[in-house]
Amino acid sequence: MSTISIFGLGYVGAVSLACLAENGHKMIGVDVNPLKAEIINAGRSPIIEHGLEEMIKRGAASGTIRATMNTHEAIHNTDISFISVGTPSNGNGSLDLSYVEKVAREIGKALTDKNQYHVVILRSTVLPGTTEELLIPILEQESGKKCGVDFGVCFNPEFLRESTAVKDFYDPPFTVIGAEDDKVADIVQGLYSMLNAPLRIASIREAEMIKYACNAFHALKVTFANEIGTVCKAAGIDSHKVMEIFCLDTKLNLSPYYLKPGYAFGGSCLPKDLRALVYLGRHFDLSLPVLESIIPSNELQMERAYRMVTQAGSKRVGVLGFSFKAGTDDLRESPIVELIERLIGKGYEIQVYDKNVSLANLYGANRAYIEKEIPHIAQLMRDNIEDVIESSDVIVIGNNSPEFQNVQSRYNGHHVTIDLVRAAGKEVVSSAKYHGISW
């Protein structure tokens, strides 16, 4: 078991102190407020949280929990330190990092005369880059030591809710460890070995961003449900019944589906139905800023793709996949068609390939749509992917058809790839000749 110090005894710090002590670790809480230290040493909780006071009382009685204001003492008597201080908002929306900076300086000074390897875990919610650009430089400057050699640093976001924080500690949705070296990751991973939850190792910046993605999505869900409720009330519909049934769908609604960054949405349903819902809101004179912003945001994603093509440096462009979804022949409101039409209008030489979209094999509405709405694009369609590659300098991958996954291996070296769906694989990131729309 480890000896651990926790700096900051608010909600996250106090709960972590008690829960880690319950699992056999020897804990030292550190706070600038002497009253918090006194309360914990007396076996009481500094916050109201179900079950917490009993845990702190047991820990204080057994000697596995104590608190101090002395940073040097805490660092020299522990192997691992958590930083769980507050990061409140400034007036302009930025974060006040003064508490993180102050604790980092104190820890750095305390490490100066410590010979043993020490791990510092930042748990406070901070914007991506903070650990590497603020915390690590301060620790190195104040200690005169090198991160990754004399001490280790990681970012470990918390997902504790007030009133259920103890339960959330033991039953988290997942555990994320942001670390740049295996030694630190292994040490921190060991602290959570008792949890039956997915554990993921990520880069420090990825781990910092995950917390913001989660909280932004939670805020979005609340606002989305409220706006649906606003429309329902105006239309005389039971909003709770609607959302109760909505939440039964764990295949699409409450699932990973639709939650991968990529190109804009399209097709015969989403754009049409969203426009109708916004129209209904206007009919009732309702303001629905979240719902009303979805289509403009979607249009911005199409604009990003267009600018990526125009910045690629050539007007010879090949488009691979232009139905709105791989495995279909549906071109209605396909965002790739919108991109193609805009490029044509700017004088680009376009070649298009999609094995699922062939005039010889199309019938009914899809064939009629091509012949009546986009006949100019029909003239650009090719039956052979090699023909498109050979006659193009820029390749745009428009959907995730399996045949496009290794398309770069067919190039002669001069092509620029613009990937709108990450067909090249999740490990590939933007480079000189490859550009992902959101990666």
User: What does the alpha-carbon distance between residue 22 and residue 14 come to, in Å, rounded to a whole number?
Assistant: 12
Handedness of CA 210, 212, 218, 221 (dihedral sign): negative
- Angle value at C-alpha 214, between 209 and 219, nearest 5 degrees: 125
Of 357, 315, 313, 312, nearest in space to 336 by CA: 357
Pairing of strands 349-353, 175-178: unpaired
Of 354, 408, 359, 360, nearest in space to 385 by CA: 354
Helix (H, G, I), strand (E, B) or coil at 119: strand
Long-range contacts of 50-54 (CB under 8 A, 24+ apart): 50/163, 50/164, 50/166, 50/167, 51/166, 52/14, 52/15, 52/18, 52/165, 52/166
232 catalytic? Reply is no
Q: What is the dihedral of CA 381, 382, 383, 389, to 10 degrees?
A: -140
Calculate Rg over the CA atoms of the chain.
28
Residues shown for the chain: 439
Q: Are 232 and 242 in contact (CB under 8 A)?
A: yes
Q: Are 333 and 266 in contact (CB under 8 A)?
A: yes
CA 142, distance to chain mean position in Å, is: 32
Helix (H, G, I), strand (E, B) or coil at 422: coil
Handedness of CA 34, 37, 39, 45 (dihedral sign): positive
User: What does the alpha-carbon distance between residue 391 and residue 380 come to, in Å, rounded to a whole number?
Assistant: 12
Residue among 147, 154, 232, 269 flagged as catalytic = 269
Q: Identify the DSSP state of 71.
A: H
Q: Is 286 exposed, middle or buried (0-12, 13-18, 19+ CB in 10 A)?
A: middle
Q: Are 436 and 430 in contact (CB under 8 A)?
A: yes
> Could you list the active site residues?
269
